[in-house]
Amino acid sequence: MHPSSTVPSVGIILAQIGTPEAPTAAAVRPYLRRFLSDRRIIDYSPLLWQPLLRGIILRVRPRKSAKLYREIWQNGGSPLLTCSLAQRDGLQTLLGPDYQVELGLAYSQPDMRQAFAKLEASGIERIIVLPLFPQYSSTTTASVYDTACFAALGRRSASGPVSKRYVPALRFVDAYYNAPGYIAAMKTHLHRHIAGLEEAPDQFILSFHGIPSRYAATGDPYPEQCRQTAQLLAEAMGWKDGQWQIAFQSRFGREEWVGPATADVLKRLSASGVRRPLIFSPGLVTDCLETLHELAIEGRVLFAEGGGDANAFSFIPCLNAEAEWLSFMADLIRSHAQGWTGTP
């Protein structure tokens, strides 16, 4: 429920991918089924992909993933969910009673349909969808667009039955990979964490979630937007050439992905003379399995396997509910709400 008795003018949906409800194979399996069945994520023909997914991947991968989730699970549940809810609540406080902020996950609960239902139950007819993905990708932003549109229409797919006659007005926030406020929030965040280290890092790795090279070759602007974000952040931090590098993580399957691969970069650091690396993921604004395990835990192991000192490896968490990040999101929302509220 909205904290004020005043009916908000604008509804906000913070859109994220999703997370299993528990760190068990039984909970991971339906999440992966939904996630890996989205043709925005895996665009192979369902006639070829679904037998492989259901016959092999969903029999093996859930157990492995559940083990990793157990290593990062928190008392409040999934880190992605708890951090996303903190973002929702923090943004609600900043925006005030003219807005109602909800969280909508693409592949788990609370899902997009539930988010729309809450806003419409409050009498809200104007809704802004903010994807929590600074860089546009067909695998994330476009999936959110699809999910949000079908949820607003009350349909599960373009060919599904119509269950709603009235559809709220929708606005989508575009990619903000080069927005000054986003870069500034990361700069403040990094400086705050670096100041707490015993020794300054001698190499900064900016790791982004990867996509298949084929997606980029056929029009996905994601890798180029990641590179622009990295360059802008490096300039804001005052890093010189050779002090930082970009990498792409979370490869899946056998086809070629955008590189260089984060795992390969980490293994080579020690041999290139790096002693105190620091890794941060600018494209993931909410801590999850890909940051808390793949970067913080596995990244440390990879650096050590390459000859480095595991104790000298540093990881910086995502922006999560940092004040500067919430302030940027609030400004972004207000700019997209022009004409919908009484605020000029």
pLDDT average per 10 residues of sequence, the chain (344 residues): 66 96 97 94 94 95 97 95 98 97 96 93 95 97 87 67 79 97 98 96 98 96 98 98 96 92 97 98 98 98 97 98 98 96 56
Domain boundary (72, 106, 132) is at: 72
Mark whether 306 and 187 lie in a shared domain: yes
Is 65 found in the same domain as 192? no
Q: What is the pLDDT of residue 244?
A: 98
Residue 186 lies in a domain: yes
User: Is 253 within a domain?
Assistant: yes
Q: What pLDDT does residue 167 have?
A: 85
Same domain for 308 and 185, yes or no, is yes
Residue where the block lists tokens 């804001």: 236
Quote the pLDDT of residue 230: 98
How many CA within 13 A on the CB side of residue 35? Answer: 20
Q: Distance from first CA to last CA of the chain, Å, rounded?
A: 26
The Cα–Cα gap between 329 and 20 comes to 26
The alpha carbon of 112 is separated from its chain's Cα centroid by a whole number of angstroms, namely 15
Residue 227, in any domain of the structure: yes
Domain boundary pick from 45, 72, 99? 72
pLDDT number for residue 161: 65
Q: What is the CA radius of gyration of the chain?
A: 20
pTM of the model as a whole: 0.93
Q: Say if residues 175 and 134 touch (Cβ distance below 8 Å).
A: yes
What's the domain range around 43?
A: 25-72
The answer to the question of residue 309 being in a domain is: yes
Give a yes or no: residue 5 inside a domain. Answer: no
User: H-helix or E-strand containing 69?
Assistant: helix 58-72
Query: CB-based contacts of 314: which residues, under 8 Å, 6+ apart?
Result: 197, 201, 276, 277, 278, 279
Contact 269, 308 (CB under 8 A): yes
Nearest partner of 43 among 207, 220, 175, judged by Cα:
220
DSSP classification of residue 343: -
Total number of domains constituting the chain: 2
pLDDT at residue number 165: 77
Picking from 16, 45, 72, the residue at the C-terminal end of a domain is 72
> Residue 295 domain-assigned?
yes
Residue 91 forms part of a structural domain: no
- If you ran DSSP here, which 8-state letter would residue 204 be given? E
Residue 105, domain member (yes or no): no
Question: What's the CATH code of the domain at 219?
Answer: 3.40.50.1400
Length of the chain as a residue count: 344
pLDDT at 343: 44
Nearest C-alpha neighbor of 87 from the set 66, 101, 71, 69:
101
The secondary structure of 261-304, three-state, reads EHHHHHHHCHHHCCCCEEEECCCCCCCCHHHHCCCCCHHHHHHH
What is the bridge-based pairing of β-strands 203-209 and 277-280?
parallel
